[in-house]
Structures are given as C-alpha cells and as structure tokens.
C-alpha cells in the first residue's frame, strides 16, 4: 500500500506539489494526468526516493522500480542494456520479443529510434521484480502499435508479479486501457480522482472538464 499525508514539494517560494491525502492499494494501477508542470514527475520522483519532499509523510513499499520520462541507453547491445545490474538474459530476450525489438538485438542501443528506445527502457525495468512500479510517461514516444505493446507488457508484468503501478501520461488510451484509477493533477493538486471512464465522462470541476475536453480531441 502507498499512503501519502500532507505531502508538499516546494522550490523556493513555489509549491509544485500539495497532496493532503492519497492512498493507493497494493494491486492498483493508477494513471496521473495533468498539463505540463502539474507535478506528475515530481510526485513519481518523490515516491522513488530520488528527490526529497519538503513536508509530509510518504509510505511506500521497499522494492520500487522507476522508469524515467527521459529514456536512455548505455553502450552495448540491447541485451546488455537490459541485463545491466542483475537481471537474466533469458528474461531480457523474452521481453525484447514481447516489445517487438528482437530483430534489433545485435544493434547498439544508442542507435535506436525514440520509440524503440522507450520500449527498451521498459524492458530494462520489467526484467526485475518489484512491489511498486513507477512509469513516467511510458508511451510518450510510441506510435499506436508501440503503445499497444507497452500497455500489454505492463498488464502481463502486473499479472505475473502483483504490484502497484503508478504512471504519468498524456494518453487517454493508456489511462482507459490500463488503469483502474485516473488522477488529474492541476498545479500540484488533485483535481479529479476516480475510475478512468467516470473521470472522463464526469470530471467534476469546471477546470477538469475543460482539461478533459482538450484531452479527448487531442487523442
Ligand atoms: N529542480 C527544480 N527546480 C525548480 N523547479 C522545478 C524543479 N523541478 C521541477 N520544477 C517545477 O515543478 C513543476 C512540476 O514539474 P514536473 O513534476 O516535472 O511536471 P510534469 O511532470 O507534470 O510536467 C514545474 O513547474 C517545474 O518547472
Ligand atoms: Mg513530467
């Protein structure tokens, strides 16, 4: 279970995250949406223990995996890029197959396209086990097929491992097809929270309504 109480993150005078209370179950998949700068990455980074909160308490499980918004590659081929650390070669091969990257196995990872690199980045994360999976815009560089593969891989990982998944996204497709719950952030605050379909159909506040309206036409 993840429990957040009175969480605040400030940069100087500016509060970029302000969450009085949020509880997420150990098996829940939650999508966070919101405009650029609404605090999605900041929240995921705090949960991952990468940056410090300014105030409040955050309870998270011990084993956490985090996929950053910016994908990266190490020198070497795709397998090496996945197994870096301690995961197994067989698992890496299975994931490359699943994410339709097998034909690129012998290529240098640094030569991949943006969408391929993002899927490789997901393979690296999914080759390990965790209790909490944090994914920062996991389909942002993907085309429709790539996004479909990512969504499927996340679901399968969750079925195999049983963990909580928190992801930020600008994709209504990702939210609708893979999340149990959609939370919309506005200026670091929770503006809407509920089942994705319900939030999309009945956003609650006027602000959320206009955000969703823009979201739907962009998709
Ligand atoms: N190191 C930092 N110093 C100052 N401001 C920051 C820093 N990191 C993030 N911010 C600000 O915090 C706000 C939230 O950023 P972020 O969490 O990256 O938003 P999102 O991921 O939703 O686009 C933004 O206004 C951003 O400029
Ligand atoms: Mg971000």
Q: Per residue of the chain (219 residues), what is the pLDDT tens digit?
A: 999 999 999 999 999 999 999 999 999 999 999 999 999 999 999 999 999 999 999 999 999 999 999 998 988 889 988 988 777 889 999 999 999 999 999 889 999 999 999 999 999 999 999 999 999 999 999 999 999 999 999 999 999 999 999 999 998 888 988 999 999 999 999 999 999 999 999 988 999 999 998 886 554
Across-strand partners of 3?
23, 59
Query: What is this structure's pTM?
Result: 0.94
Question: Alpha carbon of 14 to those of 18, 32, 46: distances in Å?
Answer: 11, 21, 17
Q: How far is the CA of 11 from the centre of ligand 1 (A)?
A: 9
The CB of 33 under 6 Å from ligand 1? The reply is no
Break the chain into its structural domains and give their ranges: 2-218
Pocket test for ligand 1, best of 15, 16, 51 (most atoms within 8 A of CB): 16
Separation of CA 37 and ligand 2 centre (Å): 7
**What's the CA gap between 9 and 150, in Å, rounded?**
30
Architecture of domain 2-218: 3-Layer(aba) Sandwich (3.40)
Residue 36 in contact with ligand 1 by CB distance below 6 A: yes
59 φ, ψ (degrees, to nearest 5): -105, 120
Q: Does 169 sit in the ligand 1 pocket, CB within 6 Å? A: no
35 lines ligand 1 (CB under 6 A): no
The residue with tokens 């030569």 is 111
């Amino acid at each position: 279970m993840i429990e957040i109480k009175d969480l605040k993150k400030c940069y100087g005078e500016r509060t970029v995250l302000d969450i009085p209370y949020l509880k997420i179950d150990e098996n829940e998949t939650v999508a966070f949406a919101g405009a650029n700068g609404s605090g999605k990455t900041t929240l995921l980074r705090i949960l991952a223990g990468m940056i410090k909160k300014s105030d409040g308490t955050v309870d998270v499980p011990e084993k956490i995996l985090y996929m950053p918004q910016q994908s990266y590659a190490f020198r070497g081929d795709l397998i090496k890029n996945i197994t870096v650390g301690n995961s197994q070669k067989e698992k890496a091969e299975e994931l490359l197959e699943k994410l339709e990257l097998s034909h690129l196995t012998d290529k240098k990872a640094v030569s991949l396209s943006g969408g391929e690199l993002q899927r490789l980045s997901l393979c690296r994360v999914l080759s390990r086990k965790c209790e909490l999976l944090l994914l920062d815009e996991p389909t942002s560089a993907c085309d429709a097929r790539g996004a479909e593969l990512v969504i499927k891989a996340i679901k399968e990982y969750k079925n195999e491992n049983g963990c909580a998944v928190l992801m930020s996204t600008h994709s209504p497709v990702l939210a609708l097809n893979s999340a149990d719950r959609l939370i919309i952030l506005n200026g670091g605050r929770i503006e809407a929270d509920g089942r994705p379909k319900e939030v999309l159909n009945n956003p609650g506040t006027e602000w959320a309504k206009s955000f969703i309206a823009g979201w739907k036409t962009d998709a």
